[in-house]
A = this chain, B = another copy of it.
Amino acid sequence: MSGTPAPEQLVERVTALPGFTKAIGTRVLSAGAGSVHLAVDRGPDLLQFNGFFHGGVITGLADHAAGAAVTTALPAGRIAVTIDLSIHFLAPADGRTIVARARAERVGGTIGVASVRIMSRSEAGEKLCAIATVTLRIVDDPPALRADGVVGSPGEGGGGRAAQ
């Protein structure tokens, strides 16, 4: 591909790749440079024993949103992968949909940090159910994405290192 994809295109493509993010039904609500909103709808395989969204699903969504928020603020050919994450669960995620709103707080040459607010949305409205902060490492786009044409230009050196 030529040129840099718009943030929304980039996030749409990464979110649609096979794997966990797609399997839980992640949808892109919006994506701008440094700001990404994602949603996942309730399903029986996504819950814990009380019928609330499971912490693993909430965290997985927050993680993906954080990575997307920082990646959209990077030059083409670079991508952000999670180093660590802290998440605080504030209220039961008992709605029909969870929405993660991620914002890049810092984008440097090698490290990015994003904060994420996760809402539980039902007919009655929205409530804050978790907040997360994610530290990410900025690397060259991995072959899995490059082969797909998802990120940046094919001429750049590959990465594929999801950890340091």
Contact = CB atoms under 8 A, between A and B. Distances in A.
A101 interface: no
A76 interface: no
A47 B60 contact: no
Contacts of A2: none
A164 B106 contact: yes
A133 B137 CA distance: 17
Main secondary structure on chain A at its contact with chain B? mixed
Contact of A88 (B14, B60, B84): B84
What is the interface residue range for chain A against chain B?
Answer: 35 or more
A86 B85 contact: yes
Contact of A60 (B57, B82, B129, B131): B57
Given A56-B61, A82-B89, A84-B113, 19 more contacts: A18-B44, A18-B47, A19-B45, A19-B47, A19-B48, A48-B162, A51-B144, A56-B59, A59-B63, A60-B60, A83-B135, A88-B135, A90-B163, A92-B161, A92-B163, A105-B128, A110-B164, A111-B164, A131-B133
Interface of A: 14, 17-21, 23-24, 44-52, 54-57, 59-61, 63-64, 82-92, 105-106, 108-111, 113, 115, 128-129, 131, 133, 135, 137, 142, 144-145, 160-164
